[in-house]
Amino acid sequence: MGSILRIILQRLALGVLTLIIVSLVIFAAVNALPGSFATAILGQAATPEAVAAMEQTLGLDKPAVTRYFSWLFAAVQGDFGTSLSQANFASFAGSVADTGVTVADTLAPRFRNTLFLAGLTALIAVPVAVTLGVLAALYRNSAFDRATNIFTLSSISSPEFFMAYVLILFLAVLNPWLPSLSNISDDMTLGERVRTSMLPALTLTLIVTAHMMRMTRAAIINLLASPYIEMARLKGMSPFRVIVKHALPNALAPIVNVIALNLAYLITGVVVIEVVFVYPGIGQLFVDSVKTRDIPVVQACCLIFAAAYILLNLLADVLSIISNPRLRHPK
Amino acid sequence: MSRLLTMKDIWIEGRSDETWNPIINGVDLHLDRGEVLGLIGESGAGKSTMGLAAMGYCRDGVRISKGSVEFDGTELTTASAAVKRGLLGKRIAYVAQSAAASFNPAHKLIDQHSEAPVQHGVSSRAESSRDGMELYEKLRLPNPDTIGFRYPHQVSGGQLQRAMTAMAMACRPDLIIFDEPTTALDVTTQIEVLASIRDIVEQFGTAAIYITHDLAVVAQMADRVKVLLKGDEVETNETREMLANPQQEYTKSLWSVREFERPAKPAVSTGTTPVVSVDNVTAAYGTVNVLNEVSFDIHQGRTVAVVGESGSGKSTTARCITGLLPPKVGGISFDGATLPLSYKSRTKDQLRQVQMIYQMADTALNPRMSVGNIIARPVEFYLGLKGAEKRRRVDQLLEQIELEPSQYYDRLPSELSGGQKQRIGIARALAAEPRMIICDEVTSALDQLVAEGILRLLAELQDKLGLAYMFITHDLATVKAIADEVVVMKDGRVVEQGPKAEMFQPPHHPYTDLLLSSVPEMDPDWLTNLLAERGVDNIGDAAVDKM
């Protein structure tokens, strides 16, 4: 088990390094955008003096390198700074830090919502995808296999908003079972939240199932020519048992990796779905912040996205190792 | 004795490119209770297909097109899948060639052992686990009480093969199909497995079909032998009768393969500079020494056979000579001059002088390149020939390996047989015009007749071109056929070396003796006598460990 711990620590260290590089790239990219926060807020007609005064107040006039490092040091200590766009600009001559809303305060509820939606989707999508994949492998080349493939492929090939509207049409408009607006709030009970978020979760399920299901099917079928699968058949085991007991445990690594990638997508890539269902997640906040050049929020979002990818991939690696007896029990 | 299995007029076909090609053409087979039938033939003879058909099983793309398989009153060709599943594992069991690949890597041995008894409702998990441990003990596996809790990768090949035999015995079947169960094992390990299988089959009165290409093995195991050739039956007879008096030409040719032996060459005169000299080489992977103080010489026109079991350091020595693994201590010299240790610092000409031929011709040839290009590549790289000159040289090389250039130049490796692929490997090595060729188990993946052809070709080329060979092998029959000198290796050390005639004459080093006496002989009583001589606890790996 010592080796697994070492691998985890190694990956974590690499992950931190990746995060730092990501933050640099993001910072450089945002700085390269034309216009600044001040021009975005004050409008095209703002006098150069007003822009300069605002930039000075916010510290935007300092060199980029200085700004980057002061932000980095604060971020390392857990302080992601103050959201520029949420500051009280009626009196922007005053100290922004006193009246502003911190990035952490802005992000935290949004991030919780995003995690909630991603978690709910995963709870539905992962079991459905793996089960469909196993069944498709079991009844490969049958009508069921083809139908599942066609259905999942067409749902992943259609634009996300289209899938969303189709579901709204059938599950909210024609049959008023679920609310089409998913503006969840903190004062809802868990049940209400689940019900309110069900439509976006179902839409996302349709989008992420295809990858996971097809990988499950392919990984299992890939193993069916193995001598140990033939051995299981020659021991008189049922086709279902051959697949679930003999093929699936050896096919876990690629499946887990695709699941991790899809979960990361659920955290970082669902802005269209959030817009369609008015879901208060982190994606919308991110897009708004880019629009207003709210650099601290953009950077914090990017770091969260990068961290989600790194952690989920790390988790996938660890699960792959645990699923492989050769690595779990060295000779 | 009552009849257990009757296969009548079996025709089996395999599909390739939308057409069905015959694999087995109207073969009959029958087996009584408790009888062991040996099924022998070269690869492509249809032995495994026939063995699986006895279980009513066909691999993907294979079908029984005609005939009947009747197992104890049940017709298997028309039985439903559920009926067959009820028999497989419970009354008919299978032992595969590679136990390492046929055990599921994700489960412990004992769990795989108990699976069939539990699923077939023969016994409970606890009962079958206990029974498994008893079987492990009967099969003389070390630590029978705990070895079952290991995963397949934690157990050696010979032990896995015995664990698989135990697994086949789990439901006390009436019939077991053994499909080349010892082909992948070293000779010393093979003995243990053969002895275990024979004992347990006798003890439980199990009938068996024993599939192998090794006549000497079948002589030890079977009551009756059936010879197959390309899907046709050649002949069937009682084992002793068949060995003493084969009727058909093909059977006789199989018997005579082992008689190829080159005439002995005069000893190398003292003072001759060897082509390659391995001088006191110690080499390591990481910090573990895998070679210790290995020294031997290879002279022009001579063959040095390096013999030993897997893990003895034969191939590592080859890696040191080619410079792929620079030795920690010692060195390699060529024509008396020291070679740089790593291939990276050798000149093109130094690299040209030593070439290799590999065990697996399948994987050593680029599947996307035509035969012509495979051979042309070293011709151009080492000798700088281009255009028509290059083509002429390639044709010449193809003629040397006895393949018609116009017919083979444009073929892909997938369009060649195993023996032909190995010939291309030889031509590729010759293309560099080397002084020495390292042959790494070049015949061990081939059938005996084909292997003999390769050995004859190598011998001819040596006489013609004065090549020096280092011949790595674990097969002592091959050594007898081709070697001038023999180097015996064990655990990374040379335990004995000398001219072939001396090596095959006593007195031997005890390890050489063990290797020599472990090679199965055609005498049906060989195994029985050997066991009596050595004692059951002193065979195979146990005997090796005591050295």
Q: Residue A141 belongs to a domain with what CATH number?
A: 1.10.3720.10
Whole-angstrom distance, CA of residue A107 vs CA of residue B379: 67
Q: Is the pLDDT of residue B259 over 90?
A: no
CA torsion sign, B106 to B107 to B112 to B115? Answer: negative
Find the helix packing angle between B109-119 and B157-169, rounded to 10°. 20
Beta bridge partners of B289: B284
Quick check: B102 and A227 CB within 8 A?
A: yes
- Residue in A closest to B59 by C-alpha: A230
pLDDT above 70 coverage of chain A, percent = 93
Beta bridge partners of B176: B93, B208
Residue type, B362: D
The CB density around residue A316, as the number of other CB atoms within 10 Å, is 21
Helix (H) or strand (E) holding B193: helix B187-204
The CB density around residue B542, as the number of other CB atoms within 10 Å, is 16
> Please, where in chain B does CATH 3.40.50.300 lie?
3-256, 276-505
Same domain flag for A117 and A91: no
Same domain flag for A280 and A227: yes
Q: A323 near A119, Cβ under 8 Å?
A: no
pLDDT at A93: 43
Whole-angstrom distance, CA of residue A205 vs CA of residue A193: 17
Beta bridge partners of B14: B21, B62
Question: In the predicted model, what is the mean pLDDT of residues B175-197?
Answer: 86
B510 is written with which tokens? 């005890």
Q: A140 near A218, Cβ under 8 Å?
A: no
What is this model's ipTM? 0.79
Same domain flag for A50 and A114: no
The CB density around residue A25, as the number of other CB atoms within 10 Å, is 12
B378 is written with which tokens? 């070293």
For chain A, give the number of residues.
331
Query: How many helices (H) and strands (E) are present in chain A, helices listed first?
Result: 16, 0
Same domain flag for A272 and A329: no
- Determine the distance in angstroms separating the CA of B140 from the nearest CA of chain A, rounded to an integer: 21
HSE-up (13 A, CA, CB side) for residue B145: 0
Q: Is the pLDDT of residue B44 over 70?
A: yes
Helices (H), B401-475: 405-408, 418-431, 448-465
Of A230, A235, A325, the CB nearest to B116: A235
Same domain flag for A285 and A309: no
Confidence class for position A96, pLDDT limits 50, 70, 90: very low
- Residue in A closest to B151 by C-alpha: A325
Quick check: B57 and A325 CB within 8 A?
A: no
Interface residue of B60, B102, B109, B160 to substitute, partner A, most A CBs within 10 Å: B102
Q: Give B276-505's CATH code, choosing from 3.40.50.970, 3.40.50.1100, 3.40.50.300, 3.40.50.720.
A: 3.40.50.300
CA torsion sign, B459 to B461 to B467 to B469? Answer: negative
Quick check: B103 and A232 CB within 8 A?
A: no
- Of B537 and B313, more confident: B313
Q: What is the CA radius of gyration of chain A?
A: 24
* Three-class secondary structure of residue B518 per DSSP: helix
Quick check: B104 and A246 CB within 8 A?
A: yes
Whole-angstrom distance, CA of residue A152 vs CA of residue A132: 10
Q: Is the pLDDT of residue B100 over 90?
A: no
In our burial notation (b when 16+ CB lie closer than 10 A, e otherwise), range B294-313 reads bebbbbbebbbbbbbbeebb
pLDDT in tens, A214-255: 999 999 999 998 999 999 999 999 999 999 999 999 999 999
For chain B, give the number of residues.
547
Quick check: B153 and A249 CB within 8 A?
A: no
Same domain flag for A164 and A259: yes
How many structural domains is chain A composed of?
2
- Determine the distance in angstroms separating the CA of B120 from the nearest CA of chain A, rounded to an integer: 8
Highest average pLDDT, of A3-7, A121-125, A314-318, B505-509, comes from A121-125
- Residue in B closest to A230 by C-alpha: B102
B118 is written with which tokens? 């539990």
Whole-angstrom distance, CA of residue A320 vs CA of residue A259: 12
Burial of A74 (0-12, 13-18, 19+ CB in 10 A): middle
In Å, the largest CA–CA distance within chain B is: 75
Interface residue of A138, A140, A221, A234 to substitute, partner B, most B CBs within 10 Å: A234
Quick check: B59 and A250 CB within 8 A?
A: no
Q: B545 near B491, Cβ under 8 Å?
A: no
HSE-up (13 A, CA, CB side) for residue A199: 32
Whole-angstrom distance, CA of residue A172 vs CA of residue A174: 6
B218 is written with which tokens? 């079948």
Beta bridge partners of B232: B229
Average pLDDT, chain A: 85
A323 neighbourhood in chain B, CB within 8 Å = 106
Same domain flag for A133 and A206: yes
Of B59, B87, B105, the CB nearest to A250: B105
Of B90, B105, B119, the CB nearest to A326: B105
**Strand arrangement of the beta sheet that strand B92-95 belongs to:** B92-95, B175-179, B207-212, B36-40, B224-229, B232-238
Helix (H) or strand (E) holding B493: strand B493-499
Range of the domain at A322: 1-101+293-331
pLDDT at B249: 86
Burial of A186 (0-12, 13-18, 19+ CB in 10 A): exposed
Q: B65 near B48, Cβ under 8 Å?
A: no
pLDDT at B539: 66
Same domain flag for A48 and A75: yes
- Determine the distance in angstroms separating the CA of A331 from the nearest CA of chain B, rounded to an integer: 5
pLDDT above 90 coverage of chain B, percent = 50
Interface residue of A220, A231, A242, A331 to substitute, partner B, most B CBs within 10 Å: A231
Q: Is the pLDDT of residue B402 over 50?
A: yes
Beta bridge partners of B212: B40
Confidence class for position A100, pLDDT limits 50, 70, 90: low
Same domain flag for A57 and A178: no
Contacts for A146-150: CB closer than 8 Å, 24+ residues apart: A148/A213, A149/A214
Quick check: A236 and B90 CB within 8 A?
A: yes
Q: Who contacts B207 (Cβ-Cβ below 8 Å, separation ≥6)?
A: B4, B5, B31, B32, B33, B34, B35, B36, B174, B175, B176
pLDDT at B242: 87
CA distances from A103 to A69, A106, A296, B404 (A): 17, 5, 7, 78
Instruction: Say if domain B3-256 classifies as CATH 3.40.50.720.
Output: no
Q: A282 near A116, Cβ under 8 Å?
A: no
pLDDT in tens, B343-375: 999 999 999 999 999 988 888 899 899 999 999
Distance of CA B3 to the CA centre of its chain: 33
Same domain flag for A117 and A163: yes
Same domain flag for A96 and A140: no
Q: What is the DSSP letter of A91?
A: G
Whole-angstrom distance, CA of residue B349 vs CA of residue A275: 69
Whole-angstrom distance, CA of residue A51 vs CA of residue B415: 76
Same domain flag for A78 and A141: no
What is the SS3 string spanning B336-404?
A: CEECCCCHHHCCHHHHHHEEEECCCHHHHCCCCCCHHHHHHHHHHHHHCCCHHHHHHHHHHHHHHCCCC
pLDDT in tens, B467-520: 999 999 888 888 888 899 999 998 889 998 988 888 888 778 888 888 888 888
Q: Is the pLDDT of residue B292 over 60?
A: yes
* Three-class secondary structure of residue A27 per DSSP: helix
Nearest to B61 by CA among B18, B6, B111: B18
Whole-angstrom distance, CA of residue A299 vs CA of residue B148: 55
Confidence class for position A1, pLDDT limits 50, 70, 90: low
pLDDT at A97: 45
pLDDT at A321: 82
pLDDT in tens, A40-61: 777 777 788 887 887 777 777 7
Quick check: A236 and B55 CB within 8 A?
A: no
Burial of B117 (0-12, 13-18, 19+ CB in 10 A): buried
CA distances from A162 to A156, A202, A272, B545 (A): 11, 13, 10, 71
Whole-angstrom distance, CA of residue A172 vs CA of residue A182: 12
Q: B19 near B194, Cβ under 8 Å?
A: no
